Amino acid sequence: MNGAPLAADVGDTRSMLEAAALAHGNREAYVEPGARISFAEWIGRARSVAAQFADLGVGKGDVVILWLPSGIDYATCYAAAAMIGAITAGLNPRLGRREIESIVHQADPALIVADYDLGPLPVTDRRVLWRQGLSADSAAVAPPVELARRDLVALIFTSGTTGTPKGAVFDADRLAAGAASAGVMSAPYDRRLTSTPFAHAGYMFKLWDQLVWGTTLVIPPAPWSAQGMFDVLRDERITVAGAVPTQWSKLLDVDGVNRQALPHLRIGVVATAPAPPELVRRVAERIGVPLVVRYAMTECPTISGTAPADAPEVQFRTVGRPAAGMDVRIGPDGVVEVNGPCVMRGLLAEPGTHRRGAA
């Protein structure tokens, strides 16, 4: 079954997942090198893994840590945890031992789902479910749980560049707000090329956005190459793509890159560094799509962005205007102050934000 995009107020996260399985049906939810899965298949697998989590003692308010590569299994475990009211935290495989130990200590997980291929898990005193043992029982049913929009869904950790990583807590209301404030970044049944690690806020915060819009997430092969990016953009009919400025520049040097080869692409996103005005112009002339800029942080994954019609100099020198529902101002001390529905519920250590105390 394939219907229209969902309203963002369907209900709690489990209801949203089940509604997406019906509304988007056999539309692709994820594409990774060598595999692809529809919304119905993804959420069906999540039901099976949710039952497995429950059998292992995971319940509402517990944390499940994922030490997995970005892809279908990560997405399945994230959805599975949400179905039983558990909270998902991701471990970026690139983190060092100190950061991993700090995150595990703070999150105090009931379960860690890990992958043999990432090497030895740096912690040994926690219950571990190996990726290779994830349930594939299509008849399994996730146990019933009473859920609400204020229940916590995601625990997203900062990179730890200025100290130990800190855990930002998000409930379903925040995820719904992110979907509602997406603006030009989301359209019905987008096919999005994503290189963002799934443990990052750029993925974790956008679960509801994907469910609302029926978005297909395409994970490119590694390592990155300009030819590889072109091949994926063309073959997977990508509509939204994000890359750093040097990647966009190298893409333009590939033979055959033009508007005719990429008719589905509607918008490009510049990440991590400003895009020189000349690059914005070249992309528009060669591929026929605008490059836009987004500004965000772990504690508030949606803040501001430029518009497709903004001049190249605006794309280069600014981070645009506040997203829908967000208030941004510069305080008297020069600090950027942000307020709105996309701001985290709080940090893990703050009163009222811990998984069993939040209401």
pLDDT of residue 6: 79
Is residue 270 within a helix (H) or strand (E), and if so which, with residue range?
strand 267-270
Closest CA to 325 of 215, 182, 186: 182
The CATH number fitting domain 13-182, selected from 3.10.50.40, 3.30.420.40, 3.40.50.12780, 3.40.50.1980? 3.40.50.12780
Q: In the predicted model, what is the mean pLDDT of residues 17-32?
A: 96
Q: In the predicted model, what is the mean pLDDT of residues 121-137?
A: 90
Beta-carbon count within 10 A of 256 CB: 10
Alpha-carbon torsion (229, 201, 92, 45), positive or negative: negative
Token pair in block for residue 27: 């539309």
Beta-carbon count within 10 A of 118 CB: 13
Q: Tell whether domain 216-339 is in CATH 3.40.50.980.
A: yes
- pLDDT tens across 255-295, in order? 999 999 999 999 999 977 888 999 999 999 999 999 999 99
Closest CA to 344 of 164, 82, 155: 155
pLDDT of residue 354: 53
Which DSSP category does 359 fall into? -
Q: In the predicted model, what is the mean pLDDT of residues 138-151?
A: 92
Instruction: Find the farthest-apart pair of alpha carbons in the chain and give their distance in angstroms, rounded.
Output: 59
**CATH 3.40.50.12780 domain extents, the chain:** 13-182
Q: Is the pLDDT of residue 181 over 70?
A: yes
The region, left, alpha or beta by phi > 0 then psi within -120 to 50, assigned to residue 323 is beta
> What pTM did the predictor assign?
0.94
| Confidence band of 116 (pLDDT split at 50, 70, 90) | confident
Distance CA 160, CA 177 (A): 26
Amino acid at 132: Q
Q: Are strands 28-32 and 291-297 parallel, antiparallel or unpaired?
A: unpaired
**CATH 3.40.50.980 domain extents, the chain:** 216-339
Q: Is the pLDDT of residue 329 over 80?
A: yes
